[in-house]
Amino acid sequence: MTLRRQLRWGAGLAALAAYALLVACGEPDRPAVSVVPAPAPVEGEQVVDNDSPVFKTAAACGRCHTEIYAEWRESFHGRAMEDPLFRELSAEVNKEECIRCHAPVNLRDSGFETPVARSDLREDAISCLSCHQNGGNVSGPHGGMESAPCRPIQDADQVDVVKMCFVCHNQHDTGNEWLRGPYSPQAPEPRLRPVKTCLDCHMPIVERPLVQGGPIRKGRRHTWFGGHDMAQLRLAAELDVEVTALPEGGGHRFRVFVTNMGAGHAIPTDARHRSFDTYVLLRDKEGRILLDPTDPQQQGRAQLAKFRKFYRGSGKRDTQIPPLERVSTLGEGLGYVDVPEATSGTGEAWLVYRLTPRDVLNSRSLKVEEAQLWLARVVVRKEFTYGP
């Protein structure tokens, strides 16, 4: 079952259970988003008050901005209120503190502080107007189209990530992670990396007409690829393996290192229920499996480390990997395993991504690309050999 179908089923099933952004920079190859026609105009939707928005729904915006609307609908911004994991964690959408970021009033009405939850049109989730409404106008990075039906105006705040992104995505310190890191404008000299922002990684530039039939211009994709997207996850980290012989010919020690080489913030980030975990699979020289991470009886031994922002009150120290750092462990797990029976053969290091601690690692994890409820995914696999 696809994630899209799961989301539809999940909205009506309390047993099903987030949203977030993770992670890395770049624009991987992905299939084009199909254009979904917006619904026909609703009678009485337009208003004449110049201090009120001309349009009140995302669907109204989509009648002109068809491609952007299609991207938004497929994104986790557009689906923020129907995500089954969010519905479970928010007690079936009964926690206002969660809804304020999943269905917020427009950010300018909140003064770019933590948003207030909308009282109506919550099904629009994080809608076009949440980010673009500015009184009776809509704001964007470009001007010169003030005569358009939605009364657009140029506003530099639209590309200010501290104002636009931090209000929700700094609830768990993601924004501060970026500010402290090497991609921030305030990073110390000599710089290790050029300045990059949330927009560079999660809203890559695309050239296309803003409206159907309009001139081609530079804009941004409205998909916000993050922790649900396998291509984006693969850009975040790389693995390498260190193999050392144990004393007296007693097998080998296998240590796996993770480098946060693509994310502008720590990995994982945002929601506390996400984790990156390292595992090792081992075969002897005849190809027999000595250590199998998908075997429930061996999984504990095969797991080397866990990188995660832990729940408040857990008593555990967060073990997220900062940008550009290379580590085998930050305290949760040894980062290595000693296997006396492993004298010669081949192996694989795995970087496993879990959206929740309940996500199961099994043989399906090696095949599935789309995020699926309760299933861990193997994001990176690094092959190696050991012994004579």
pLDDT digits (tens, 9 = 90+) for 265-274: 999 999 889 9
- Name the band, by pLDDT with cuts 50, 70 and 90, for residue 148: confident
- Name the band, by pLDDT with cuts 50, 70 and 90, for residue 11: very low
Which 3 state secondary structure label does DSSP give 69?
Answer: helix
Classify residue 285: in a domain, yes or no. yes
Q: Same domain, yes or no, for 333 and 279?
A: yes
Classify residue 353: in a domain, yes or no. yes
Quick one: which of 161, 55, 168 has its CA closest to 104?
168
CATH code, domain with 366: 2.60.40
Q: Same domain, yes or no, for 214 and 240?
A: no
Q: Same domain, yes or no, for 106 and 148?
A: yes
Q: Same domain, yes or no, for 211 and 319?
A: no
Q: Same domain, yes or no, for 76 and 148?
A: yes
DSSP assignment string, 338-366: EETT--SEEEEEEEEEESSTTPBPSGGGG
Which pLDDT score is estimated for 205?
A: 95
Classify residue 139: in a domain, yes or no. yes
48-91 per-position pLDDT tens digit: 456 677 888 999 999 999 999 999 999 999 999 988 888 887 77
The encoded tokens of residue 277 equal 């975990």
Query: Helix, strand, coil proportions of the chain in percent (round to 5)?
Result: 20, 25, 55
Classify residue 228: in a domain, yes or no. no
Q: Is the pLDDT of residue 33 over 60?
A: no
User: Which element (helix H / strand E) includes 169?
Assistant: helix 166-169
102-141 CB burial, b ≥16 within 10 A, e <16: bbbbbbbeeeeebbebbeeebebbbbbbbbbbbebbbbbe
Q: Same domain, yes or no, for 319 and 181?
A: no
- For the chain, helix (H) and strand (E) counts, in that order, are 12, 14
| pTM summary value | 0.84
- Name the band, by pLDDT with cuts 50, 70 and 90, for residue 146: low
152-156, 192-196, 322-326, 352-356: least confident range:
152-156
Q: Same domain, yes or no, for 155 and 11?
A: yes
Classify residue 150: in a domain, yes or no. yes
Neighbouring residues of 350: CB distance < 8 A, sequence distance ≥ 6: 278, 279, 280, 281, 293, 378, 380, 381, 382
- Name the band, by pLDDT with cuts 50, 70 and 90, for residue 207: very high
Classify residue 300: in a domain, yes or no. yes
Q: Same domain, yes or no, for 168 and 271?
A: no
Q: Same domain, yes or no, for 26 and 66?
A: yes
158-200 per-position pLDDT tens digit: 999 999 999 999 988 999 999 999 999 999 999 999 999 999 9
Q: How far apart are CA 75 and CA 102, in angstroms?
A: 13
* Structural domain boundaries enclosing 198: 3-220
Classify residue 259: in a domain, yes or no. yes
Count of structural domains, the chain: 2
Classify residue 229: in a domain, yes or no. no
Which pLDDT score is estimated for 358?
A: 92
Mean pLDDT of 244-261: 94
Mean pLDDT of 335-363: 96
- Output the average pLDDT for the chain: 86
Which pLDDT score is estimated for 378?
A: 98
Neighbouring residues of 347: CB distance < 8 A, sequence distance ≥ 6: 241, 254, 280, 281, 282, 283, 383, 384, 385, 386
Q: Same domain, yes or no, for 176 and 320?
A: no
Instruction: Tell me the torsion sign for CA atoms 7, 33, 21, 107.
Output: negative
Quick one: which of 230, 231, 222, 220 has its CA closest to 70?
222
The encoded tokens of residue 84 equal 């089954």
10 Å CB burial of residue 68 (0-12, 13-18, 19+) is buried
